[in-house]
Structure 1
Amino acid sequence: MDDGDKRILPVILCGGSGTRLWPASRDSMPKQFIDLLDDHSTFQASLKRVVASDVFQPPVVIAGNDVRFIVAEQLVQIGVEADIVLEPIQRESAAAIAVATLHAARRDPSTVLLVLPADHVIDDPTAFVASCRAALEPARQGHIMTLGVAPQYPATGYGYIQPGQRIEGTDVFRVDRFVEKPDAAAAQIYIDQGFLWNSGNFLFRADVMMEELERFEPAILAAARGALEAAAMDLDFIRLNEEAFIKAPKTSIDFAVMERTARAGVLPVSFSWSDVGTWGALWEGSVRDEAGNALRGNVEVVEARNSLVHSDDILTTVVGLDDVIVVAKPDAVLVTSRSRSEMVKNLVSSMRAKERPETREHIRVYRPWGWYQRTDRGSRFQVKRIMVKPGGRLSLQKHHHRAEHWVVVKGTAEVTVNETVSLVHENESVYIPIGSLHRLANPGLIPLEVIEVQVGSYTGEDDIVRVEDAYGR
């Protein structure tokens, strides 16, 4: 076994839908894949923290099936290679960590894993890596380590850790207890007593975590083992077996292990950290102007202070308001006070009960080949803008209820209609009759953009009969 095998194995957990950050975060594009703070998503920022140092092995990503191509694309964008393990159904963090632990133990049971969520923001990557180095030796000695963040204010959205006795010869403490999210008064008491925020970042040896899962949650370990043993390769993804995985009880690693184990240790850290769980938290982590405003996109404000205003497209203006959140998307606008931004989760739950499609998908819908965006819709027609990446190709398909017209506005399209394959250039168009087998592909080196006009009695996405698909859908 060479020295490289002794490096930490990072595991990025990509679960969660981020409903409190609606309308930016939706089921089809959760918050961890959105560039909320800069030009990279928090998922990409998490990856970049652990690939920039020789402390870490190439990472493992645990993600849901529905976001698998988003994960793959964002890895490519930053030039990172990773094992991508797909959960067939979400069972919370305990089952995901059990899978990652067993996956690592196949190579070396003494491997030290670093588990970190994909949606956290850390302002000092160098300090983060230094903290991982400091926690590594206690983890090798058998402690299940967590990074405890020095609280910056009495947060009610985070769990807290009470450090206990210092582990001799280290800067690490045993954990006396974990406490769940408190109210404001209790949070202040915890801070006064020296509690730390629970960051949800864990370091542990694979064999140690397996022992604790076997002790406290054997059903989770058994389900994860069965799902991994019966896993199948699908393109570049490791697809867990659904029949086995669904047997795992649905719970977090905090409840399953951390609040019950005698092996928990905590390393206090001082770098700035946030799980960016709400728009208020995003305002806290954003660069703000002299009036305390975090502004992004097509926005203008007058006499507004300590507010967050984001707009992707339409001009969004705020006049004479303080401490507000305004987020404008092409199909939805959110306005809330900054102090009540956690209630967005309740709003989304209410809208989902009414089956509002805006809670699930954006107007721009991402696919493995690129994206499409609806621009207009009527009783018997729909207009879409389609972008196909270089080398991308849609499935070979047909429709029972609509015909389509494609107009190329950028690039060159390779168009298949039944037995005919032709190249269609800018300012040229092609007609796809109802029932015809057809495919759109981009053979060029630049993105292909097409305007699609659908005409027919029904234009829903479920009127697609896929005959052949390069992406295994």
Structure 2
Amino acid sequence: MLLPVIMAGGLGSRLWPLSRTLYPKQFLSLTSSSTMLQETVNRLDSIEHEAPFFICNEEHRFIVAEQLRQNNSVHSGIILEPVGRNTAPAIALAALNVVKKDQDPLLLVLAADHVIQNEPAFINSVKQAIPQAESGKLVTFGIVPTAPETGYGYINKGKAVASEAFEVVKFVEKPDLDTAKEYLRSGEYLWNSGMFLFKASRYLEELDKHYPEILKACELATQGAHDDLDFIRLDEASFATCPDESIDYAVMEKTGDAVVVPMDADWSDVGSFSALWEVNDKDDNGNATRGDVLTEKTSNSFIYSQNKLVSTVGVDNLVVIETKDAVLVADKDKVQDVKAIVNQLKSLNRSECLQHREVYRPWGSHDEIAEGDRFQVKHLTVKPGERTATQLHYHRAEHWVVVSGTAKVTNGDKTYLLGENQSTFIPIGTAHSIENPGKVALELIEVRSGTYLEEDDVVRLEDYGVGY
């Protein structure tokens, strides 16, 4: 039995402003109409497997669930990490969840934010690895390098143990350029992909041997876990005591049973805009563009428009990214430094590092479209059959205008329907909620007015998922 374990907890800060803390790159559509999470699930279609386990940060839970619903994807569970503790504990949580059911599947550990353009080669490498994993080996997949890349760790492969599997001599950290060139010339090194295959029981055995503190904390967190809708909630106090370590450091570098299977599948972890430029289709001038873009005498550039027309003239080797609330212009050779901008935003306590202007909720989304002194205007979309939490505000009143669909409004002790072009007023301190009883999306304009308009002016009278 092959059970995929898809880790969806990364932040992708080098892809700001596309990627944000509360909406990171694995949930974005960067190379196709599907998100990276959805692509990770879809590339498994041609191999027999059980419904995947997903592991994500608690604040991303509804994004994962919604994207799986949109993709018609089934799952074995969505494990929520109350705090990030790296890959070794994350994989242990999945292994413990299946072992306690008296199952011992092969865990195919995948990251949700990788691009793999040659999917048949990916599937072939997985099939080549299965006999090794079934025999008790811990398999890692090493990407056949195409350049002296300094942004990846490497795996030094040893003697062959099968036609497409090799002993692991050592794992090495990201090298400098000269060392990376030597690795490439030798033919003995592979990029470390962060993908693995092994029996659940074997991983737990090796974790217990080499880093028992992680296993103990994960066992306690799992024993205290409970189901919540689609989600598996851990015991937060127990998991918080878990060491923060990668699977490479905790297990793979220490075990005597590690083997590596080469994978030549046009893989990228798209850790920067230059990597994203490489994996996207380009025009005759070497430009990769997305959205509403016009170019003139422009070459070798990556230009992404989310909301407005972006035009470039007489430039080369640039990255230009436009979102609803931010614009990035960078030299394509310096994009690793985008993370420094994110750090500046954090130090200034600016919201642009946390979330996009359009914010997604379990019931739909809201997008701020105007703001001034004592007023704020938002565009709300409520999905069919969903509603917001019942809540009230002490510092603002709200005026709602229905643009399309039908709204079921609770306003104090009254409940009534509003159709297109109808409106209602919510006074300060009045309990209220919006529901979409129809079959199509409900869209409305919300105008807030008052002395304080921030999101923390809210008293939730019930928790219907996550409130607005």
Note if 1:61 corresponds to 2:54: yes
Where do 5+ consecutive residues of structure 2 fail to align?
none
Offset, 1:350: 2.0
Letter in 1 for 2:167: R
Partners of 2:466 and 2:301 in 1: how far apart? 44
2:291 is paired with a residue of what secondary structure?
strand
Letter in 2 for 1:71: V
Instruction: Decide whether the 8 Å contact of 2:326 with 2:352 is kept in 1.
Output: yes
Q: Which residue of 1 aligns with 2:22?
A: 28
1:377-396 to structure 2, matched below 5 A, reads: 377-396=371-390
- Superimposed CA distance per residue, residues 344-366 of structure 1 (whole angstroms, 9 cap, x where no aligned partner): 11221122111121111110011
Over the aligned positions, Cα root-mean-square deviation in angstroms equals 1.1
Offset, 1:469: 2.5
Q: Which residue of 2 aligns with 1:367?
A: 361
Q: Which residue of 2 aligns with 1:114?
A: 108
Number of residue pairs aligned between Structure 1 and Structure 2 = 465
Pick the aligned partner of 2:121 from 127, 151, 154. 127
- Superimposed CA distance per residue, residues 387-434 of structure 1 (whole angstroms, 9 cap, x where no aligned partner): 001111000011101110000001010001112111100000011111
1:155-194 to structure 2, matched below 5 A, reads: 155-167=149-161, 169-194=162-187
- Superimposed CA distance per residue, residues 86-128 of structure 1 (whole angstroms, 9 cap, x where no aligned partner): 0011011111011111112123453110101100000122221
Structure 2 vs 1, CA of residues 126 and 348 (structure 1 numbering), >3 Å: closer, same or farther? same
Note if 1:227 corresponds to 2:224: no
Partners of 2:78 and 2:351 in 1: how far apart? 29
Pick the aligned partner of 1:196 from 182, 190, 215. 190
Partners of 1:41 and 1:319 in 2: how far apart? 30
Offset, 1:331: 1.1
Q: Using structure 1 for the length normalisation, give the TM-score.
A: 0.97
1:289-300 to structure 2, matched below 5 A, reads: 289-300=283-294
1:27-426 to structure 2, matched below 5 A, reads: 27-50=21-44, 52-82=45-75, 83-108=77-102, 110-167=104-161, 169-194=162-187, 195-426=189-420
Instruction: Decide whether the 8 Å contact of 2:157 with 2:170 is kept in 1.
Output: yes
Letter in 2 for 1:253: I
Partners of 2:118 and 2:48 in 1: how far apart? 16
Instruction: Decide whether the 8 Å contact of 1:55 with 1:133 is kept in 2.
Output: no
Partners of 2:23 and 2:318 in 1: how far apart? 24
Instruction: Decide whether the 8 Å contact of 1:109 with 1:205 is kept in 2.
Output: no
Instruction: Decide whether the 8 Å contact of 2:110 with 2:196 is kept in 1.
Output: yes
Partners of 1:268 and 1:60 in 2: how far apart? 25
- Higher mean alpha-carbon deviation, 127-136 vs 281-290, is at 127-136
1:409-448 to structure 2, matched below 5 A, reads: 409-448=403-442
- Superimposed CA distance per residue, residues 312-359 of structure 1 (whole angstroms, 9 cap, x where no aligned partner): 112211111111100011211111111111111122112211112111
- Superimposed CA distance per residue, residues 233-281 of structure 1 (whole angstroms, 9 cap, x where no aligned partner): 1122101111110111011111111111111101112110000110010
1:199 is paired with a residue of what secondary structure?
strand
- Superimposed CA distance per residue, residues 37-64 of structure 1 (whole angstroms, 9 cap, x where no aligned partner): 11111111001122x1352110000011
Structure 2 vs 1, CA of residues 20 and 472 (structure 1 numbering), >3 Å: closer, same or farther? closer
Q: Using structure 2 for the length normalisation, give the TM-score.
A: 0.98
Offset, 1:471: 1.1
Partners of 1:110 and 1:315 in 2: how far apart? 53
Partners of 1:254 and 1:269 in 2: how far apart? 18
Instruction: Decide whether the 8 Å contact of 1:144 with 1:204 is kept in 2.
Output: yes
Letter in 1 for 2:140: T
Partners of 1:170 and 1:231 in 2: how far apart? 42
Instruction: Decide whether the 8 Å contact of 1:219 with 1:247 is kept in 2.
Output: no
Instruction: Decide whether the 8 Å contact of 1:299 with 1:316 is kept in 2.
Output: yes
2:249 is paired with a residue of what secondary structure?
helix
Instruction: Decide whether the 8 Å contact of 1:414 with 1:441 is kept in 2.
Output: yes
Letter in 2 for 1:349: N
2:227 is paired with a residue of what secondary structure?
strand
Partners of 2:391 and 2:233 in 1: how far apart? 25
Offset, 1:299: 1.3
Q: Which residue of 2 aligns with 1:4?
A: none
- Higher mean alpha-carbon deviation, 126-135 vs 10-19, is at 126-135
